[in-house]
Amino acid sequence: MCGIFGLITKKQDVPVARLIREGLQRLEYRGYDSAGVALVNDGNIELHKEKGKIVDINKNGALDNLKGNFGVGHTRWATHGPPTAANSHPHMDCKGEIAVVHNGIIENFQELRRKLTERGHEFKSETDTEVIPHLIEERIAEGDDLKTAVMNAVKVLEGAFGIVVCHAHTPDYMVVARRESPLTIGITPGETTYCGSDIPAFLPLTRNAYILDDDEIAILKPGEVDIFTLDGERVERDYITVQWSIDAAEKGGYDYFMHKELHEVPQKVREQVRMPQENIDAFARTIMEAEHVYITAAGTAFYACLAGKFQVTRFGKIYIQAILCSEFRDALEDAIPENSVVIAVSQSGETADTVEAVRYAREKFNAKVCSVVNVVGSSLTRYSDHVIITTAGPEIAVASQKAYNTQVTALTMVALRIAELKGYLDKEEVQKYKQAALKVADVCDEIIENEDHIKILAEKYAKKPNFYFLARGVSLAAACEGALKLKEISYNHAEAYAAGESKHGPIALVEDGFPIVFIAPPDSTYDRLIGNVMEMKARGGIILSVVSKDDEKIKELSDDIIPIPHDDDPYIIRLSAVMYVFPLQILAYFAAVHNGFDPDKPRNLAKSVTVK
Ligand code: AGP
């Protein structure tokens, strides 16, 4: 996720650069590791971009002092290439006449970059975005005007994009285009036109907004907008008038960031599956070549480790020892053998215990480190031999949810790559699993469409003081994460256990009305789970089960169910980890709201625990 803001106006004496910088600052919740602005000024592009937050970049007016009567800015959340000036947007063509800002992921950028390089184009960054201005440059060299050049250029892009394009020698308009990544247009008719990745960018300036649909392009003139399909057909669409407050707009109209971010999960999972992770191969091979593999993290990230390690064992037949990062040194007590690998998972990449664990393993035992991290350039990435960047984007809510789901998806992609390299799965099988992983995102979309049912259950159970979350196999990770979510934002006491373990003590707590959540995908653990459900029910437990929409046996034993709308397809069933935890994250959100708590800012918690 990145923040984009641009404007073009016929008003005179407008501080265009300052308005763009202010618009970007309203979008810094979408990304803040670097920023830049480009203005068209009398046949030239005036550009300034740097690593860091906008307030620091602009401390001597470096952005506000740019001259020009229209242009665009970008505040970045790095996915390809660390946060540096070169990698920050806007990106330019060879001649420095075309400025492009982009939000999204170009999946085929390596191939495009290779071909452009062969044709003599020179690149200055490591980003996927930089291929776009060079593609447009070629089209213009062949005689296209800017609008046609952008139309033709984006047709060869695969993946998600929201872009804004300015050309030094096209002084009367700029072009925007989008596919999957959001892009909105604001307008003061007859005077000024704005564009932004979210409505908050221009809300203080106008409440009139056009929403672009996928594969649409728009020509922005001062106070005038023309929308077309990528095939050039004109689209007749009126603007809407936005009623949101600024705060509500930052949350995309949601009451809380957490709800907005939960609704981003399907798209983020798709992007994670499609992420051209050149590192997945190196990550997989490093694990395969090691004699001992550990996986470590804290909190929600640790439960992603549990799901991920299960998938690596299931698909790659490699056993991984999971150790909480705060326990890492004590658990291993100098006993890390030669040729070890530590996998570390972290949303922030700054969790002190996680960073300390990998530094200990690396510096004292020469262990290799493979990390799954959401923040490019974070501390953990600097101690890692291989890094997989999750596609979650900035996660504002303290309680992690979209990061968790992309972490599990990333580790599943590694597991599939190991299976392929070891010959357990052929290319066709791996492709079937990747298609199933994309279907997981569709299932999550359907869960969202039916979330009112989860809301009703959340409100029904929200006041219960104690819960068990029970599961077997890979679903134990979902049980742990579901219990943590309920604990950390709704403040209900909740414990997760291996269902088979519950009769070795925990069942003593069960009495009439005690709620037990079972996570029960139709996998190899299902039949054994039925007995655990019956044990709890026999002692008065209230059974809330997360089951397949076609489930019958456990459904019959349950007081309430959350149906997961997937087919009876062995491929998708073996990827149940995200589908079966997702409704539990939603359940916790609605329980917290029903109990009158702020799910974005739970008491006593911090987004990143940078102390040991
Ligand atoms: C997130 O829901 C939790 N509040 C917390 O446990 C978090 O997962 C943990 O602190 C690890 O953070 P990290 O992923 O940034 O390393």
CB-based contact 519:496 (threshold 8 Å): no
- CA–CA separation, 359 vs 23, rounded Å? 40
Q: Which amino acid is present at 466?
A: N
pLDDT in tens, 232-261: 999 999 998 888 777 777 788 899 999 999
Give residue 611's pLDDT: 66
Query: What's the 610 CA to ligand 1 centre distance in angstroms?
Result: 10
Give residue 30's pLDDT: 80
Between strands 515-520 and 542-548, the pairing is: parallel
Of 249, 280, 309, the position where a domain reaches its end is 249
Burial of 292 (0-12, 13-18, 19+ CB in 10 A): middle
- Ligand 1 atom nearest to CA at 400: 2
Query: What's the 310 CA to ligand 1 centre distance in angstroms?
Result: 20
> Do residues 238 and 329 both lie within one domain?
no
For residue 224, being part of any structural domain is answered with yes
> Do residues 75 and 183 both lie within one domain?
yes
Q: Ligand 1 pocket check: which of 348, 354, 381, 611 to mutate, most ligand atoms within 8 Å of Cβ?
A: 348
- Pull the structure tokens for residue 391: 């596609």
| Structural element, H or E, at residue 102 | strand 98-106
Please give the tally of structural domains in the chain.
3
- Pull the structure tokens for residue 585: 């994250």
> Do residues 282 and 136 both lie within one domain?
no
Does 610 score more than 70 pLDDT?
no
> Do residues 386 and 261 both lie within one domain?
yes
- Ligand 1 atom nearest to CA at 297: 16
Alpha carbon distance, N-terminus to C-terminus of the chain: 30
CB-based contact 84:12 (threshold 8 Å): no
pLDDT in tens, 407-438: 999 999 999 999 999 999 999 999 999 999 99
Residue 150's CATH number: 3.60.20.10
Neighbour-count burial for 436-466, b at 16+ CB within 10 Å, e otherwise: bbbbbbebbbbbbeebeebbebbebbbebee
Query: What's the 138 CA to ligand 1 centre distance in angstroms?
Result: 46
Taking residues 63-84, what's their average pLDDT?
92
What is the value of pTM for the model shown?
Answer: 0.82
> Do residues 337 and 471 both lie within one domain?
no
> Do residues 96 and 35 both lie within one domain?
yes
> Do residues 333 and 481 both lie within one domain?
no
The most confident of the ranges 1-5, 241-245, 477-481 is: 477-481
For residue 440, being part of any structural domain is answered with no
| Axis-axis angle for helices 427-449, 576-594 (nearest 10) | 20
> Do residues 418 and 459 both lie within one domain?
no
> Do residues 516 and 565 both lie within one domain?
yes
| Axis-axis angle for helices 257-274, 402-421 (nearest 10) | 20
pLDDT in tens, 6-57: 999 999 989 999 999 999 999 887 888 899 999 999 999 999 999 999 999 9
Q: Is the preceding omega at residue 602 within 30 degrees of 0, hence cis?
A: no
For residue 342, being part of any structural domain is answered with yes
pLDDT classification of 278: cutoffs 50, 70, 90: confident
Ligand 1 site residues, Cβ closer than 6 angstroms? 298-301, 346-348, 351, 354, 398-400, 488, 605, 608-609
- For residue 153, give the nearest of 182, 118, 177, 174 by alpha carbon: 177
> Do residues 150 and 19 both lie within one domain?
yes
Of 195, 229, 249, the position where a domain reaches its end is 249
Between strands 292-297 and 340-346, the pairing is: parallel
For residue 605, being part of any structural domain is answered with no
Does 216 score more than 80 pLDDT?
yes
Query: If you take atom 6 of ligand 1, which residue's CA is the nearest one?
Result: 299
Query: Which of the residue ranges 78-82, 196-200, 206-210, 445-449 would you say has the lowest mean pLDDT?
Result: 78-82
For residue 109, being part of any structural domain is answered with yes
- Ligand 1 atom nearest to CA at 380: 16
- Is residue 444 among the annotated active site residues? no
For residue 91, being part of any structural domain is answered with yes
pLDDT in tens, 440-473: 999 999 999 999 999 999 999 999 999 999 999 9
Other residues' Cβ atoms within 10 Å of the Cβ of residue 481: 32
Does 492 score more than 90 pLDDT?
yes
Query: What's the 144 CA to ligand 1 centre distance in angstroms?
Result: 50
- Is residue 432 among the annotated active site residues? no
Query: If you take atom 9 of ligand 1, which residue's CA is the nearest one?
Result: 299
Query: What domain range is 193 assigned to?
Result: 3-249
Query: What's the 341 CA to ligand 1 centre distance in angstroms?
Result: 22
- Ligand 1 atom nearest to CA at 399: 2
Residue 346's CATH number: 3.40.50.10490
Q: How far from chain centre, in Å, is Cα 434?
A: 18
CB-based contact 258:599 (threshold 8 Å): yes
Taking residues 361-390, what's their average pLDDT?
92
Taking residues 385-401, what's their average pLDDT?
91
Other residues' Cβ atoms within 10 Å of the Cβ of residue 137: 21
> Do residues 245 and 258 both lie within one domain?
no
- CA–CA separation, 127 vs 125, rounded Å? 5
Query: Which of the residue ranges 134-143, 204-213, 514-523 would you say has the lowest mean pLDDT?
Result: 204-213
For residue 434, being part of any structural domain is answered with no
For residue 504, being part of any structural domain is answered with yes
Other residues' Cβ atoms within 10 Å of the Cβ of residue 428: 7
> Do residues 273 and 381 both lie within one domain?
yes
- CA–CA separation, 427 vs 405, rounded Å? 24
